């Protein structure tokens, strides 16, 4: 009797389910293939290039976006490149802007407007005084170059000109300073290939220029050419 009752109950329930497709739980779902598949296309590679040159030139008439001042840590008017830049700018306005920056540590850079020079920005980079090379001078000099590039990029500059920082009255040996400068710029360009269109080093004399050209010639990813401007003062 119990079996018959259960059998009738099951048949009655089945009648209610008639026409209803019971889902097959636990079976793998079917992968639906779309009507077309968009294959990933190889992206167009836009390789940014930065022109990097060394030349004899007067940095105060550089027609690009930014020039680098070989500054002292007080950001006060000095000799060499620093004095020439202050003389070519509106002296009082530039001095006032530098005072407002409250100095700059060695190995770093700060930026001001140029106040009437062809390049609208001046990046004040403080290189080290050479004391033998065992007081962190290479790291400080590299920091000055890198910070100058970062500061210039921060104000939207696409072209920048450097003097030979620290090779004047600061006494940094020219060959050593050139090696640090070229390597630091090379590393920056490799890391940020789209930041600048042009990076120039404007040298005061043939000795400095030839040192840069020789150093750059050993690094095939950098072009070394002499093609810019007029003579001018050396780096501090």
Q: Does residue 207 contact residue 174 with C-beta atoms inside 8 Å? A: yes
Cα 229 from Cα 57, distance rounded (Å) = 5
0.85 exceeded by the pTM? Answer: no
Domain 55-217, what fold? 3.40.220
**Per-residue pLDDT, 49:** 86
DSSP state of 226: -
**pLDDT by residue for the chain (236 residues), tens digit each?**
444 444 454 344 434 434 434 333 333 333 333 332 333 333 333 346 899 999 999 999 999 999 999 999 999 999 999 999 999 999 999 999 999 999 999 999 999 999 999 999 999 999 999 999 999 999 999 999 999 999 999 999 999 999 999 999 999 999 999 999 999 999 999 999 999 999 999 999 999 999 999 999 984 333 334 334 444 565 67
């Amino acid at each position: 009797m119990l079996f018959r009752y259960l059998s009738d109950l099951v048949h009655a329930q089945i009648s209610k389910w008639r026409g209803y497709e019971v889902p097959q739980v636990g079976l793998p779902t079917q992968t639906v293939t779309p009507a077309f598949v968009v294959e990933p296309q190889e992206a167009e590679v836009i390789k940014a290039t930065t022109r990097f040159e060394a030349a004899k030139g007067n940095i105060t008439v550089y027609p690009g976006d930014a020039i680098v001042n070989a500054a002292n840590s007080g950001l006060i008017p000095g000799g060499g490149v620093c004095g020439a830049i202050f003389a070519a700018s509106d002296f009082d306005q530039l001095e006032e802007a530098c005072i407002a920056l409250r100095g700059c540590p060695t190995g770093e850079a700060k930026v001001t407007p140029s106040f009437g020079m062809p390049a609208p920005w001046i990046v004040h980079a403080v290189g080290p005084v050479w004391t033998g090379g065992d007081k962190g001078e290479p790291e400080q000099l590299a920091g000055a170059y890198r910070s100058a590039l970062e500061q210039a990029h921060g104000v939207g500059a696409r072209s920048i000109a450097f003097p030979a920082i620290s090779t004047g009255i600061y006494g940094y040996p020219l060959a050593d300073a050139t090696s640090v400068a070229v390597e630091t710029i090379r590393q920056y360009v490799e890391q940020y290939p789209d930041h600048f269109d042009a990076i120039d080093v404007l040298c005061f004399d043939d000795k400095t220029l030839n040192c840069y050209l020789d150093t750059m010639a050993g690094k095939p990813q950098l072009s070394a050419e002499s093609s810019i401007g007029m003579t001018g003062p050396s780096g501090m």
